[in-house]
Chain A
């Protein structure tokens, strides 16, 4: 009986306990949760908005890592790798916010939200450890856990929404940025392509359509100034200086430099059409004199036609002035130092509103005698045409014709010793060895020293329209044959490298250059000089 009574009492007690528990849940816990959970959710949303704001503004020291120009230089900027695998890496400039820093900022916003929520979960766990009793765990599991879960859901949802909207805005900005950069880059490329612009180094002879630009403030070299990841319209150098992005704009504001040897290029390089004409021939053939007299005649010819030939750099100006003095006074030309690579004489030719750079390369004749000596003459590889200088006094047939006056005339003409045919073959062989397509190039063969030869018996049949036949008659038929086989077009000129040979005359020293320039798209006169036509008119 007592057992039965005890059992009934226990049942009643259990019932009361259950009743009290359910009453507590229904009267206190559920209403409390109904109030706390939405508030937690709203607090989470507020926190999810606040964290990105604090991250972007950098308050509380939450600023994301800044991707600087130093990072770009060191390759730690997360920018995509260069396609061509440049050995120099990216230029030392700040990257556009849209391509590097924006990703860091968005990532940091998300990470920071996760981190702060993680701190909250960590505190919950710590409280659970401290309240090492069933009631504490119940409070933790039933109240604190769900509340912080709602905070987390609200915060993550709000941050995700913010990131999504920021990403959309960034994508819109990237589209605009791509459009501007693409237009600028395309326009820059198109203009330079239409002009056939390139920058050739007067020192190392390297030719590139993309020159390097040193920063005007710190001197750091920018090897690819074009609009791109480092800026669409402007780029900021590592030193903080603002630089223009297109080659056309940069060339007017900064010093243009050779990307190979970093030497300063001539003004207008890579912006204007670039015409490179090497002059080759034996020692004492008259190459240097032809260059001086040719430039002088070209200047006069240009002035007469309303165009201009100017020398913008000091080196070329000095060389030209020296040449003018020699040609005007009729004094002898100094021997070009053997073994010394030539620096180009550059003239800026302006026809109407179009500008071009004309580079003339005059190396010592010793370079052309032996195949082993001319490997460094890289300017031969990038030329649009070549001028081959033939000294008539070096031809045995001419020497024979001179008879008794021969020695006197040879001394007066300072005749070349080496065989012109050998010099031609050495040079043509070099071009072929270096992969130059001579079949696409033009060659002007200039028989010089015509002023000395003109009244002598060998020159009886030497007329501007019969130079080819005269060379064949003089025994250089193999040279003529080889030249016409090797080159796309060969034109023959007879030239007097003296001041009296007026510009535009059939024996003007400007003629070989003017013809090659016209063939390279730089027409100095409305009609290119045609010795044949001019002789007929003179006759």
Chain B
């Protein structure tokens, strides 16, 4: 009497997963957009941080001598 049913996800599963995929994609793209738009600032921050570290070293270095 029992007919083995399909083992693959139903349309309802796929639709709901589609919604979740949409959410994940939105978050991913939003994060990507934020990172790209802030890339220049980030680069500046990294460069200034490196510069600050080196300046610190220079002042310390001379005081050592």
Interface residues of A (CB under 8 A from B): 19, 22-23, 26-27, 30-31, 34-35, 38, 42, 45-46, 49-50, 52-53, 56-57, 66, 68-70, 92, 94, 96-98, 101-102, 105, 158, 161-162, 165-166, 169-170, 173, 217-220, 236-240
Of chain B, the residue at the smallest CB distance from A63 is B9
Closest chain B CB from A170 CB (angstroms): 8
13 contacts between A and B (CB under 8 A): A22-B57, A26-B56, A27-B57, A34-B50, A53-B21, A57-B21, A68-B5, A92-B5, A94-B13, A97-B13, A101-B13, A169-B19, A238-B4
Distance in angstroms between the alpha carbons of A22 and B58 in the assembled complex: 11
Distance in angstroms between the alpha carbons of A46 and B49 in the assembled complex: 24
Closest chain A CB from B11 CB (angstroms): 9
Interface residues of B (CB under 8 A from A): 1-10, 12-13, 15-17, 19-21, 23-25, 27-28, 31-32, 35, 42, 46, 49-50, 53-54, 56-57, 60-61, 64
Secondary structure at the A interface, as helix, strand, loop or mixed, is helix
Which residues on A sit within 8 Å (CB–CB) of B42? 38
Q: Across the interface, do B16 and A98 meet the contact criterion of CB distance under 8 Å?
A: yes
Q: Across the interface, do B46 and A34 meet the contact criterion of CB distance under 8 Å?
A: yes
Q: Across the interface, do A53 and B24 meet the contact criterion of CB distance under 8 Å?
A: yes
Given A53-B21, A56-B24, A105-B20, the answer on whether A26 and B54 have CB atoms closer than 8 Å is: yes
Of chain B, the residue at the smallest CB distance from A220 is B2
Which residues on B sit within 8 Å (CB–CB) of A19? 61, 64
Which residues on B sit within 8 Å (CB–CB) of A35? 46, 50
Q: Across the interface, do B23 and A169 meet the contact criterion of CB distance under 8 Å?
A: yes
Partner of A94, one of B2, B10, B49: B10
Q: Across the interface, do A238 and B56 meet the contact criterion of CB distance under 8 Å?
A: no
Distance in angstroms between the alpha carbons of A166 and B20 in the assembled complex: 6
Number of A-B contacts (CB under 8 A): 112
Q: Across the interface, do A69 and B5 meet the contact criterion of CB distance under 8 Å?
A: yes
Which residues on B sit within 8 Å (CB–CB) of A70? 4-5, 7
Q: Across the interface, do A66 and B5 meet the contact criterion of CB distance under 8 Å?
A: no
Which residues on B sit within 8 Å (CB–CB) of A66? 7-9, 13
**Most chain A C-beta atoms within 10 Å of own C-beta, residue among B9, B19, B32:** B9
Which residues on B sit within 8 Å (CB–CB) of A238? 2-5
If A97-B13, A97-B15 are given as contacts, then 7 extra A-B residue pairs at C-beta distance below 8 Å, sorted by A number, are A42-B35, A56-B24, A69-B5, A70-B4, A105-B20, A166-B20, A220-B2
Distance in angstroms between the alpha carbons of A101 and B8 in the assembled complex: 12
Q: Across the interface, do A38 and B5 meet the contact criterion of CB distance under 8 Å?
A: no
Partner of B61, one of A23, A42, A170, A219: A23
Distance in angstroms between the alpha carbons of A46 and B29 in the assembled complex: 10
Q: Across the interface, do B17 and A56 meet the contact criterion of CB distance under 8 Å?
A: yes
Distance in angstroms between the alpha carbons of A42 and B15 in the assembled complex: 30
Q: Across the interface, do B56 and A173 meet the contact criterion of CB distance under 8 Å?
A: no
Given A219-B1, A238-B3, the answer on whether A56 and B27 have CB atoms closer than 8 Å is: no
Q: Across the interface, do B54 and A239 meet the contact criterion of CB distance under 8 Å?
A: no
Closest chain A CB from B63 CB (angstroms): 12
Q: Across the interface, do B7 and A68 meet the contact criterion of CB distance under 8 Å?
A: yes
Which residues on A sit within 8 Å (CB–CB) of B27? 49, 158, 161-162, 165
Which residues on B sit within 8 Å (CB–CB) of A161? 27
Which residues on B sit within 8 Å (CB–CB) of A169? 19-20, 23
Closest chain A CB from B23 CB (angstroms): 6
Which residues on B sit within 8 Å (CB–CB) of A94? 5, 10, 12-13
